[in-house]
Amino acid sequence: MGQFTSLEARIDAAAHAVLARLPRGRLTDGAVEFLVFGLKQAWACLFGGLMLGMILVTRLWWPEVGLARYDFWFLAALLIQLGMLVFRLETPSEAKVILIFHVVGTGMELFKTAAGSWIYPEEALFRIGGVPLFSGFMYACVGSYMARIQRIFDIRFSHYPPVWATVLLGMAIYINFFSHHFIVDLRWVLFAAVALLYFRSSMHYRVFRFRHRMPMLLAFLLVALFIWIGENIGTWSRAWIYPDQADGWSLVSWSKLGSWYLLMLISVVLVTLVHPPKAYQQNS
């Protein structure tokens, strides 16, 4: 897997030509790393950012054009996905990850909406039961980010747990999303299992000139937090709502942060099945 697509390589070369001319120093180097980190994160979030921006804009203004918002989002998501492939903003392997997340997410949506965990309050032509088809792309946004960030930041791992063990844990987490409706919720056991499996694991990522290190448990938490923020924007836009938001919007429960934290493990496992984790070496 190359680090950049052909378009990204040209952007990277142009950025290097500008940034490499800046004076060196601890303050300057730190500022450049911070700036590039933010720009790369935004680039990795391209699919999700476009989707969330579209949802937010149509919440503020949506003309009566005879097309439901949900259907517009679905068609737009397809066009965005096609455009990212055509203009080489995304690799075919990343598209595979997005497809996997779409299928996994839609399966969860069908069950959760039937169980009353959340609802989609608007009409849609493109839907399966009570689930509009755009919803699978919301999970795909997470998959797109996880796959793109691994490539854009050239992420390597130290003390990465055995992939087979992460697959088993990911399966257990996914099953628990369904089974806790019928038996005891095992999320605290799963949290402990995630901590036990990943407590020594770190990710090593390159921003511009330097590699940086972050414990994977912390990385999961930060990504989960940003997804929770995005979920608040989504529910405020009435893309979907929870039962306690039926009579008016309220902040999404902090307990959902834990759910997204566990989803991070599923996300990482699915990405590693397509892009096996690379081991960190001191000179890499």
pLDDT at 91: 81
Q: To the nearest whole percent, how much of the chain has pLDDT over 90?
A: 62
Does residue 2 carry a pLDDT above 60? no
Q: Which two tokens stand for residue 177?
A: 């999303």
Q: pLDDT confidence of 274, banded at 50, 70, 90?
A: confident
Kind and range of the H or E run holding 83: helix 69-86
pLDDT at 1: 47
pLDDT in tens, 99-155: 888 888 899 999 999 999 999 999 999 999 889 999 999 988 888 898 889 889 999
pLDDT at 178: 93
Taking every pair of Cα atoms in the chain, the longest distance, rounded to a whole number of angstroms, is: 62
Distance of CA 214 to the CA centre of its chain: 18
* Under 8 Å between Cβ of 220 and 264: yes
Kind and range of the H or E run holding 138: helix 135-152
Out of 83-97, 124-138, 260-274, which region has the weakest mean confidence (pLDDT)?
83-97
* Under 8 Å between Cβ of 203 and 219: yes
Give the separation between CA 139 and CA 3, rounded to whole angstroms.
24
Give the separation between CA 109 and CA 101, rounded to whole angstroms.
12
Distance of CA 9 to the CA centre of its chain: 23
Does residue 245 carry a pLDDT above 90? yes
pLDDT in tens, 196-228: 999 999 999 999 888 999 999 999 999 999 999
Residues 6+ apart with CB under 8 A from 144: 46, 47, 48, 90, 94, 97, 98, 101
- Pick the residue with more confidence: 99 or 57? 57
Residues 6+ apart with CB under 8 A from 266: 104, 170, 173, 174
Q: Which residues pair with 205 in a beta bridge?
A: 212
pLDDT in tens, 131-144: 999 999 998 888 88
* Under 8 Å between Cβ of 201 and 159: yes
Give the separation between CA 38 and CA 54, rounded to whole angstroms.
21
Q: Which of 40, 39, 34 is nearest to 153 (CA)?
A: 40
Kind and range of the H or E run holding 93: helix 92-114
Long-range contacts of 72-75 (CB under 8 A, 24+ apart): 73/132, 73/134, 73/137, 73/239, 74/124, 74/126, 74/132, 74/133, 74/134, 74/137, 75/126
pTM of the model: 0.88
Q: Which amino acid is at 77?
A: A
Does residue 282 carry a pLDDT above 90? no
- Backbone angles phi and psi of 144, in degrees to 5: -60, -45
Torsion of CA 169, 262, 151, 148, to 10 degrees: 130
Average pLDDT, the chain: 90
Distance of CA 58 to the CA centre of its chain: 22
**Buried-exposed string 194-212: b where 16+ CB fall within 10 A, e elsewhere:** beebbeebbbbbbbbeeee
pLDDT in tens, 189-203: 999 999 999 999 999
